[in-house]
Amino acid sequence: MKKVYLSVFGFALICRFGAHAQTKQDTTKNKKPFSLYQPVVTDPPATDYNPRALRIDEINLVSSYYGQNGNHSAITGGIGTEKVTDISNGLDMKLVWVGDNENKNTISLGIGYDHHTSASSAFVTTTGLGKQGGTRIYPSFDWTVENPKTGNTFGLGAYYSGEYNYKSLGGDLHFSQKTADKNGEFSVKLQAYMDHVTMIYPSEFITQITPVSTGATYVTTASGNVVLSNGGSSESKPSLPTKPRNTYTASFGYSQIINSRFQVMFLADVVAQNGYLSLPFHRVYFTNQKDTIEKLPSSRFKLPLGIRANYFLGDNIILRSYYRYYADNWGSHANTANLEVTYKLTPFFSISPFYRFYSQSAAKYFAPYAEHSANDEYYTSNYEYAKFNSQFFGAGFRLAPPKGVFGWQNLHELEIRYGHYTQTTGLSSDVISLNLGFK
């Protein structure tokens, strides 16, 4: 369920930059695709003046609404409602200055806030930990230095995401180097995320024990941990236990300007995960109708490979295409194909219909409700790991007049995007986003 929430704000940003990839497993969203609105890169013109003062270069406000329906909730063992709603709001701000060495410095600050509701989360536990809604906050920081002569960049980033059952702290190191003619660029991004999963169990796996202080209710979990479910005095306040989950990603990209109309980009990620990769409130029912909690291996390796090709067809049409192949050592393979056509109705107004097709094979640890054997070593009924096909389609509308949107000079861009998602498992969703760009 958490992964669904994470996808909402990401959808708005991905749509903005024209990169549509599979929501749940895509690890190729680390670099914004190049823009065909720009001509072939050349050396910067000479100038007698170079501003050095810190200034605000750009501010982007993104707001989106996401609604989902389905009947294969992992919380209730692969059956039951998957109804989710999520409202996301995000602010990104870029600060720019030129240092004494003439290098361009850019600091990107971001803050996001989500509020979601989920009907199935009420079935997590009956001890006060079950929730039908929640919030997530996720600030980010990035500092990038660019050499104006070579076009090469180097940067550092830091991220945090927190909600009631999940905390994540991440960082990255990234750099890029252009070819001698400035028409090609090689990029690398190294990322690490250190997450902690709160061990919230379904109610049937929690046994009540006698409170040790007035106003406190303590419980013991299936794993033997003693936790405080509500209230309690200051003399003894055991906290909910957590388990670590670490993700390490090395992303490689190479972009090449073929000519003034055609550009391509090759993408490859190497992803390694270790730690607690299950979720404790995901139920699994065996063939004998007895239930337990999801159990998955403690390590996972992913390898996504992709190619992006953009073509400027005449004065008014831009074709943006993308293909990705994905494989992991849990037995899942996937293919993603995406096409977006941007048509400029006027020099300042464009419409961008898009379509994405995704096909995935099932992980070897997945089985539907009540089809796992009690002798299985690993088991999940989370349909994220099931075999399915999906389609995602919609359109974006972008307004960027030279005198500003609605005559407001500082508001240089307004974009609205809508997408509808369907899956052969019966899952469907709708998302609409609004982006306001300020200069």
Let me know whether 205 and 224 are in one domain.
yes
Burial 150-185 (b: 16+ CB within 10 A, else e): ebbbebebebebebebbebebebebbbebeeeebeb
Look at residue 315 and tell me if it is in a domain. Answer: yes
Percent of the chain with pLDDT over 70: 79
Q: Which two tokens stand for residue 396?
A: 């974006």
229 domain-assigned:
yes
pLDDT tens digits for range 345-381:
999 999 999 999 999 999 999 999 999 999 999 999 9
Does residue 114 lie in a domain region?
Answer: yes
In this predicted model, what pLDDT tens digit does every residue of 261-280 receive, in sequence order?
A: 999 999 999 999 999 999 99
**Residue-range definition of the domain harbouring residue 96:** 2-40+51-200+240-438
Q: How many domains does the chain have?
A: 2
| 58-102 tens-digit pLDDT | 999 999 999 999 999 999 999 999 999 999 999 999 999 998 889
27 domain residue, yes or no: yes
Percent helix, strand, coil in the chain, to 5, is: 5, 55, 40
Same domain, 152 and 292: yes
132 and 280 fall within a common domain? yes
User: Tens digits of per-residue pLDDT, 158-204?
Assistant: 999 999 889 999 999 999 999 999 999 999 999 999 999 999 888 78
431 within 8 A of 116, measured Cβ to Cβ? no
Same domain, 234 and 356: no
Residue 309 included in any domain: yes
pLDDT band at 132 (very low <50, low <70, confident <90, very high): low
Can you give the pLDDT at residue 352? Answer: 98
Do 228 and 307 share a domain, yes or no? no
Taking residues 407-417, what's their average pLDDT? 92
State yes or no: pLDDT of 108 exceeds 80: yes
Q: Of 189, 218, 239, at which residue does a domain stop? A: 239
- Please check the confidence at residue 24 and state whether its pLDDT lies above 60: no
Q: What percent of the chain has pLDDT over 90?
A: 70
Q: Please check whether residues 209 and 301 belong to one and the same domain.
A: no
Per-residue pLDDT band at 51 (split at 50, 70, 90)? low
Average pLDDT along the chain: 84
94 and 151 co-located in one domain: yes
Q: What pLDDT sits at residue 50?
A: 53
Is residue 102 in some structural domain? Answer: yes
pTM value? Answer: 0.82
Residue 144: the pLDDT is 98
Q: What CATH number does the domain containing 178 carry? A: 2.40.160.40
179, 214, 239 - which closes a domain = 239
Q: Is residue 45 one of the residues assigned to a domain? A: no
Same domain, yes or no: 131 and 213: no
- Look up residue 307 and give its amino acid: I
Main-chain phi, psi angles of 5, to 5 degrees: -65, -40
Which residues, other chains included, contact 347 with Cβ-Cβ below 8 Å and sequence gap of 6+? none
Question: Is residue 125 very low, low, confident or very high in pLDDT (cuts 50, 70, 90)?
Answer: low
